[in-house]
Structure 1
Amino acid sequence: MKNEVLVQIGRRLSKARTEKGFTQGDLSDMTGLSIKMISAAENGHKAMRPENIVKICNSLSISTDYLLRGESPALATMGEQEKLNTLTPKQREALSKIVADFLSVFEEDDPI
């Protein structure tokens, strides 16, 4: 019996790859991963190592949240994602604090 989580991840991987117009061979060339491994992941037969998930997500310009959970972060547009990727660790920390402060406003008990 297949693991349903792996099947769902595989479906999202296959969908993202085909929507970008890439073959499994193309993705293999882009990531350095074997076609066999990509095929096994897409078919839900095998879990991927974290470093391979990152390679695939970077190559397909998708978030790990999308691949693993089917969720897209609020800042997932490609242009915004590219800008986020250039932030220094200090800038990322500051941005995380800004987002956390913003979201905390909506966690209060008082309805808006």
Structure 2
Amino acid sequence: MKNKTLEEIGSRLASARKDKGYTQEQLANLSGLSTKMISAAENGHKAMRPENIIKLCECLSISTDRLLCGESVMLDSLAEHDELKQLTPKQRDALSKIIDDFLSAFK
């Protein structure tokens, strides 16, 4: 039986990889990890070690919060605004991605 949390993280990993236009093999080469490990993580079959999570997030220019939790810490700090409270989970995810992409442009 698969772990739902691992499946969700895997789905976000696959989505971030595809958003960058990378194949699993390309991401493996960039991160120094194996294609097999990336495939297992994307399919929710295996948990990743913390150092591998960091490597993948750096290669994909996303925060670990985005990969692990689905949105950025920055979005949580803005949650006091009434407009943000009314967003659907899908809208919150999209906004979180916009914030992460914007902030990564200044790294």
- TM-score, normalised to structure 1, is 0.69
* CA drift at 1:77: 3.8
Which sections of structure 2, spanning at least 5 residues, go unmatched? 76-98
Map 1:25-104 → 2, pairs under 5 A: 25-74=25-74, 76-78=99-101, 80-81=103-104, 83=106
Distance (Å, rounded) in 2 between the aligned partners of 1:55 and 1:82? 18
* CA drift at 1:19: 1.0
Please say if 1:9 is aligned against 2:9. yes
- TM-score, normalised to structure 2, is 0.72
Distance (Å, rounded) in 1 between the aligned partners of 2:3 and 2:100? 30
Return the letter of the residue paired with 2:54.
Answer: V
Name the larger-Rg structure. 1
Distance (Å, rounded) in 1 between the aligned partners of 2:105 and 2:35? 27
* CA drift at 1:4: 0.3
* Equivalent residues of 2:62, 2:104 under 8 A apart: no
Which sections of structure 1, spanning at least 5 residues, go unmatched? 86-112
* CA drift at 1:20: 0.8
Return the letter of the residue paired with 2:10.
Answer: G
Paired residues in the alignment total 84
Return the letter of the residue paired with 2:30.
Answer: M
What is the CA deviation profile of residues 6-46 of structure 1, one whole-angstrom value per residue up to 9, with x for unaligned ones?
Answer: 00000000000011100000100100000000000000000
- Alignment identity in percent? 60
Distance (Å, rounded) in 2 between the aligned partners of 1:23 and 1:73? 28
